[in-house]
Chains A and B, each alone.
Chain A
Amino acid sequence: DSGVTQTPKHLITATGQRVTLRCSPRSGDLSVYWYQQSLDQGLQFLIQYYNGEERAKGNILERFSAQQFPDLHSELNLSSLELGDSALYFCASSAVIGGPNTGELFFGEGSRLTVL
């Protein structure tokens, strides 16, 4: 158990709809990252938040948005969904790098989104 919690684990919806994926990072981790993994693909970085502020942006579509709340949980909002948005969406968190901490990302189990 990585300590990162993602809900829902599975989600099936129709094209044009909007969904929200939720992530609770490990206790004490300030950074939250969102990644998308399409079928048989590597992980594509979407966006990172650090202590409530957007820190880095990757290949995130304009139809997608995210935020991190004061309690450090994060939500990824996906709107106007298309068939190609079907993927496994991972949330990860990391501690501040320093000392013996190598800054690895701890991943949740992912939210599998299917758009029909």
Chain B
Amino acid sequence: AQKITQTQPGMFVQEKEAVTLDCTYDTSDPSYGLFWYKQPSSGEMIFLIYQGSYDQQNATEGRYSLNFQKARKSANLVISASQLGDSAMYFCAMRERNSGNTPLVFGKGTRLSVIA
């Protein structure tokens, strides 16, 4: 069963607008971590933001925020004030058993294109 689902293969957003990238996850582990990564066309993987399953508040990092809805098992990434440099693939990932060094499981990604 797929643990991370990103239902939007591609998204377009106007420059300076906000955009939400969807991510749902599946786990029975009460302790888990959720991560978002950005992969520009150059190929490197850039860590953006993290949300722990026990965190009370939604994570924020600059223009990135994570809309964490635990009951719905969703962890959507919100990018505010989009910039042309935000055009990239975005991957949602999860780690189960968040107390140890275990691998991240990635979704298939969403390709975001920012239009001037």
Interfacial residues, chain A to chain B (CB-CB below 8 A): 2, 30-31, 33, 35, 41-45, 48, 50, 55-56, 58, 88, 90, 92, 94, 96-97, 102-107, 109-110, 112
Question: Is B101 a contact of A43 with CB atoms below 8 Å?
Answer: no
Q: Would you call the interface of chain B mostly helix, strand, loop, or mixed?
A: loop
Residue of A44, A105, A112 touching B47 (CB-CB under 8 A): A105
Chain A residues in 8 Å Cβ range of B52: 102
Residue among B95, B103, B106, B109 with most chain A CB within 10 A: B103
Interfacial residues, chain B to chain A (CB-CB below 8 A): 33, 35, 37, 43-45, 47, 50, 52, 91, 93, 95, 98-109
Extra contacts besides A96-B101, A104-B47 (18): CB < 8 Å: A33-B103, A42-B91, A42-B108, A42-B109, A43-B106, A45-B106, A50-B101, A55-B101, A55-B102, A88-B43, A92-B45, A102-B50, A103-B95, A104-B35, A107-B37, A107-B44, A109-B43, A112-B43
Chain A residues in 8 Å Cβ range of B43: 88, 109-110, 112
